[in-house]
Amino acid sequence: MNNTESATLPALTYEGGTRAMTLTPVIGTPRREYGEMFVPGEEPLEDGELRVTVLGSGNPWPTRAQASASVLVEVGNAERDILVFDLGTGSVANYASLKLPVNKLNKVFLTHLHADHMGDVITLGGSLAKVGRADGPVYVWGPSGTEPRLGTSHFAEAIEEALAWDTAAGFGAINPDSMRIVGTESDFSKTQVVYEANGVKVTSFPVVHCISGAVGYRLDFGGVSFAYSGDTRPCWPLVRACEGVDVLIHECFPPAAALAAASGLSIERATIALNAAHTSPTAAGKVFSLVKPKLAGLWHTLLSPQVVPAIFAELRSVYDGAVVQTQDLTVINITPEAVVSRQASVSDQLPPIPGHQCVSFQPVAVPPPDWWAEALISVD
Ligand SMILES: [Zn+2]
Ligand SMILES: [Zn+2]
């Protein structure tokens, strides 16, 4: 164990740090050289590689430093598929900073329906259809609930319905198919394959979080793999499903006292949240020692200079494997030979990149309501 680890970790990026928060940024022998920081647009994904980017490392309250829950996976298959696990508030802005095409962000795997895991679905469904996601629907996979209204299908239908005005207002200008949100729901209680295409297999497994109906995911592609806990208490279905996985990003809540001090929550509230729904650093360490990933990612934490050392101190009492404390835009490259963690260096203001459009759509002007003729100020 390394008790001085927290003192030697790189600084948080919002405090000026440029490196991933780990003492083991490279595990194994990479097949190629990676830049010190990941610069979007300058490093094409290689065949057979997975590139995992944390779009949202944070909490139910988004900040400029931390968007709410979301993890992006780019796949080195022929299609260069893009899948996203959860899409919390603020995560779409981080996606844009990666210079990735808007029209490729259409496959969302939700772990559960807490708002901090799905807040940007409405942005993806409505707003990004206007700037490039124009070929067809947003596809959302997720767990069933113990009753239909608590499941992913109802969520997708309800969001689509909530976008009724937005969709009607796009009539004539926007491909109506791109305004659709299509939900696919699977039994939350079973470990099962929920997606298989282009060499990518996604397995959903039950986790223990608040009430029934939360899951985690494992993605396998050509001999490399990645798993993501979503929100959970330490649980056996996750350990069983994640056996042999290369990288496991698991939630790790701060110790209750550290969370209370850093967030302003009462110690009682912080303790209840941790014990009823989440995973302490000690418990995360236990899960990692059972799963034995090449790299363990800590995630869903209030990142502060006080909280991170408290997490590492607790975690290191039970686990001495390779760990990265993920932040927004922590990038992890996974190949059979190596796992490499870096931070991305991005621009805060980029225009959307629509991407290659597969479906042609001719916009038409729609006649305005009659009353506008009198309401509008003439500028001729
Ligand atoms: Zn949750
Ligand atoms: Zn959460």
State the 10-residue block means of pLDDT for the chain, 380 residues long.
70 96 97 96 97 96 97 98 98 97 97 98 96 95 98 98 96 94 98 98 98 98 98 98 98 91 90 91 98 98 93 96 98 98 96 92 94 94
Taking a 5 Å cut-off on Cβ, the residues next to ion ligand 2 are 116, 231
What is the number of residues in the chain? 380
User: Measured between alpha carbons, how far is 109 from 213 in angstroms, rounded to an integer?
Assistant: 14
- For residue 67 the two structure tokens come to 């968007």
- Rounded CA gap, 181 and 161, in Å? 9
Alpha carbon of 300 to ligand 2 centroid (Å): 7
Centroid of ligand 1 to alpha carbon of 115 (angstroms):
8
8 A C-beta contact, residue 186 and residue 143: yes
Task: Tell how far the Cα of 132 is from the centroid of ligand 1, in angstroms.
Answer: 30
Which residue in this structure is represented by tokens 């496991």? 248
Measured in Å, residue 88 CA sits from the centre of ligand 1 at 11
CA 114–ligand 1 middle distance (angstroms): 5
**Under the phi-then-psi rule, with left for phi > 0, alpha for psi from -120 to 50, and beta for the rest, what region is 80?**
left
CA of 107 to the centre of ligand 1 (A): 20
pLDDT for the residue 234: 98
Give the whole-angstrom CA distance, residue 261 versus residue 244: 37
The topology (CATH level 3) of 5-375 is: Metallo-beta-lactamase; Chain A (3.60.15)
Q: How much distance in Å is there from the Cα of 163 to the middle of ligand 2?
A: 24
d(CA 375, CA 73): 48
Cα of 152 from ligand 1 centre, angstroms? 14
- The residues, any chain, with a CB within 8 Å of residue 2's CB and separated by 6 or more, are 23, 316, 320
- Please report which ligand is nearest the Cα atom of 57: 2
Question: 79 C-alpha to center of ligand 1: Å?
Answer: 32
- Do residues 281 and 314 lie in contact, with contact meaning Cβ atoms separated by under 8 Å? yes
Point out the ligand nearest to the CA of residue 300: 2
Q: Write down the pLDDT at residue 1.
A: 41
Among 116, 123, 311, which Cα is nearest to 209's? Answer: 116
pTM summary value: 0.97
Nearest ligand to the C-alpha of residue 114? 1
* Distance between Cα 66 and ligand 1 center (Å): 16
How many beta carbons lie within 10 A of that of residue 181, not counting itself?
23
Could you tell me the distance, in angstroms and rounded to a whole number, from the CA of residue 272 to the centre of ligand 1? 13
Q: Which ligand is nearest to the CA of 86?
A: 2
The pLDDT, as a whole number, for residue 263 is: 86
- Residue 326 confidence (pLDDT): 98
Q: 64, 101 in Cβ contact below 8 A? A: no
Delimit the domains of the chain by residue range: 5-375
Joined tokens for residue 309: 């050392």
CA of 42 to the centre of ligand 2 (A): 32
pLDDT of residue 3: 53
Q: Tell me how far the alpha carbon of residue 111 lies from the centroid of ligand 2, in angstroms.
A: 9
Cα(89) to centroid(ligand 2), Å: 11
Give the separation between CA 212 and CA 104, rounded to whole angstroms.
Answer: 31
CB 262 within 8 A of CB 306: yes
Kindly give the distance from the C-alpha atom of residue 68 to the centroid of ligand 2, in angstroms, as a whole number: 8
Dist. CA 186 → ligand 1 center (Å):
18
Q: Specify the pLDDT at position 24.
A: 96
